[in-house]
Each structure stands twice: as structure tokens, then as C-alpha cells.
Amino acid sequence: MSAPLNVTVWNEFRHERHAGHEAGVVYPDGMHQTIAAFLNATGDIVAGTATLDEPEHGLTQDVLDATDVLIWWGHCAHHEVADAVVARVHQRVLDGMGLVVLHSGHFSKIFQRLMGTGCNLKWREAGENERLWVIERGHPIAEGLGEWIDLPHEEMYGEPFDIPAPDTLVFVSWFKGGEVFRSGACYHRGHGKVFYFRPGHETFPTYHNPEIQKVITNAVRWAAPLQNGPRMVFGNVQPLETL
């Protein structure tokens, strides 16, 4: 309503730099740059980036403290993310920072830690048709969409998806090969809000798709911290004066 929303787009950024990998063709500057670009184009979101191979993975305490919403894409190098950085991100989420976890980020340390489950799933790299159906039509993350989003070619993720039942289930995906998947899932954790969004295999142009961009933009706004949100006071307390 005023100050811009500060977003940091975190990307593992390995596939895109791997010689001859299709990801580098689809996202020559990395997926994080594509995502940051469409967020910056909104006018009221200021999106920067951070990647695995930067010092502290680009996620210093200062960066996190200045981040309203963190977006996370990782895949083949989840184990390389330092536990200390994971702990730092976790605490920031509990303190109110929003977190949008994309695609293969389902297996990231930070998502597993926030969910408390294994976060495993079925998958198949067949480039088949995914259709994301809007399930909760009054939810702000679905704003401006039609009844579904069609992606002609995506990696399949299938149930069981080992996550806690979402606070709100916004999307369910249909895959041509016969599977379904809870592909848009909202959670409150501490002061923070977490959104998992399924699409985005590195070899498909999913993050160039305007409807997918719309969802991620909506999710950033939904996950933004409250202004002057309530502080949590824990520990030993005196009886309150009752009136």
C-alpha cells in the first residue's frame, strides 16, 4: 500500500550453467533472473537474487532481514545448502518472512524442516501435459486466473506427496499419464506464510508462462509479512490483570 515488497529469488543455478544442458537454453541467465524480471515488472515489487555458489549462498542475515518474501528453487544440490543457512531461513519464516517453494524445492532442507515430513513424491520426466485446476476459487493466489492452467510439457509429480494437509489447497494438478498432485498448497508457520507451487522443471519454459507468473506474483503478495504484526511473547509470565 506504500513501501515496495522486497523479494529475494534463490536458485541453485547449476543446471543452467552445465554445458549443453537444456536448462541453459530455456533460461540463459538462470531461472532466478527470469523470475526476478517478471516480479520487478509489476512496479511495486523489488526482486533481487541469490544463488547457491555465492558466499553463504547469498543468504546472509542482512539479506534475509531485508527480505519480505523468499522464493526457493533447488534440485540436485539440496545437500550442499549449509545447515546454518537453513536454520537462519527457518527462523526468519517463523518471524514473518514469506516463503514460496517451487517445484523440486519440495526436497529442500528448508521445506522438509518446515513441513516435518519427508516431502517425497512420485515423478516422471516425460514432458507430458499438466493441467492445474483451481480448487479454492476465492483465494487471492487464484486471482485473475481461469478455471485451470494448461502446461503442454512438464515433469510429472504424483501423489502420495508426503506433506501435512495444507491449511488451504489452492491447486490440484492432473497429468496425462494418470496421476494427480496437490500442486498449490498454503501453510501458516509461526508468523510466516509458506506456499508450495509445483510447476517448473528446468528444461521447460514454465516460468515464461504468463499464468504461472501470475500465480507466483499473487503468492508473493499473499505471503508478504504483516505490517506491525503481533509480537509473540514466550516464556514465564505473570497472571494478567483481569478487568
Instruction: Return the residues of window 133-152 that contact its own copies according to CB under 8 A.
Output: 133-140, 142-147, 150, 152
Q: How far is the CB of 158 from its own copies (least distance, A)?
A: 7
Give the C-alpha separation, 161 to 183, whole Å: 10
Nearest distance from C-beta of residue 55 to its own copies, angstroms:
27
Site for its own copies in 155-174 (CB under 8 A): 158-160, 162, 164-165, 167-169, 172-174
DSSP, res 162: -
Give the C-alpha separation, 163 to 182, whole Å.
10
Long-range contacts made by residues 21-30, C-beta under 8 angstroms, separation at least 24? 21/202, 21/203, 22/202, 22/203, 23/202, 23/203, 26/202, 26/203, 26/204, 26/205, 26/208, 27/202, 27/207
For residues 210 and 230, which CB has a smaller minimum distance to its own copies in the complex? Answer: 230
Nearest distance from residue 10's CB to its own copies, in Å?
19
- Scanning residues 89 to 108, which ones bind its own copies (CB under 8 A)? 94, 96
If binding means CB under 8 A, how many residues of this protein chain bind its own copies? Answer: 80
C-alpha cell at 212: 504461472
**6 vs 42 by CB, closer to its own copies:** 42
Q: Under rule CB under 8 A, which residues in 194-233 are in contact with its own copies?
A: 225-233
